[in-house]
Structure 1
Amino acid sequence: MLEKEKVKQVPKLITLSAKALYKSDPIQFFTFYKNKELPIAIEDTYVNEPLQKMVQKQEEVYLKKIAKRKEKVDYKATNLEKNCFFRNCTALTMTSLGGGIHLGVYYILRASGASFSTTLTFLSTIPATLVVAACFSPCANYLFAKAVAQCTTPGVTDNVIDLHQIVIESSSVSFSKPPTPKESWDSKNSDKDEILEEHENASNFNM
């Protein structure tokens, strides 16, 4: 019984291979994963979990971009709201809108057969409508400014995340090997040779 339990506890060869390949060369692992069907245990441990972390990281980047865009929109809207020319344009727009609605209602009353005294009384109240519209212009000022800021600020693009490319980029950074002592020595010697060559060329030129 003990020997059977020990045999069951020994990990499978494919699990050990996947673990070694994932640690040594994740690019090759994901290339292998795209071309082969792996067991669920290996897929959950070495594929789904890292991919989920990558997706979460990209979501955080996307949310940061949205927050940054929101700050830009609020900054532009605040500056527009404080601008005197924009305020005057908003007040003019609101009074024009109120007057247009008032005249539209007046022509509707005339078309519906209302009495002359009623239509004349309604038409005489147009200054009150203009004043009310002008009073509401400060409330509409920020809404117009926010709308203009939203339209003039570029939105955050919904780019498709290439997870395989992210794996390649991350692994190229994390698995980059430092230069060996021999490579460092060769580079230093090459630098010295270049300096000596430049010095010889300069001396020949002076002669």
Structure 2
Amino acid sequence: MLLWINGPFGGGKTQTAHEIQRRLPGSVICDPEHVGFGLHRMAPPSLRGDFQDLPAWRQGVYEVLDRALNGHDGVVVVPMTVVEPSYFRETVGRLRERGHDVRHFALLADRETVLHRLRERGLGHAVRFAAGKDAPLRRESFAVSKLDLCLERLREAEFAEHLSTDRLTVPQAADRIAARCGLTLTANTDSALRGRLRRAWTSARHIRFD
């Protein structure tokens, strides 16, 4: 089974994916961003745009995930924002046509909720303290610029199942997804503090400087 966790940038995809992987024995995370980062690094800076626009990215993601699903016995968890319908069909759609059990979830939230999460994720607290309350949003300018488009597109029926996360914690969102897929996660034994530290570490590991 493949769990594709979609959603706006800053909407909690990566945190939810890692929470599921942490509590679902045998599961692995396969992050399609790494294919895109590799393609970017091969190109001169002047030619780098949205890597999803490259046919090589869509084909590469399909091939790697097809191989992972054929060769790995556990659940494959994929955190990735895809809001262009044709790109969605070239990745999620092709994997389904191939016969794989692909469960897709779009994490949705109000605009202000996502903006708040963008301020808080990663090094948001430290940056805000040093440079003012809007600094994290300047760092996340790409995510903010795409927010309205993401929320509009992902509400379409093609991108179901939808999961509203405004009032859900990350562990609760993971529990909802697992339940809808008939999967059983191990109990979440994190204290509130440990959970915050774990999520901060996950965010810090995914900050890119190139």
TM-score (norm 1): 0.19
Between structure 1 and structure 2, the one with the greater Rg is 1
Q: Which has the higher contact order (CA 8 A, sep 6+)?
A: 2
TM-score (norm 2): 0.18
- Greater helix fraction, Structure 1 or Structure 2: 1
- Greater strand fraction, Structure 1 or Structure 2: 2
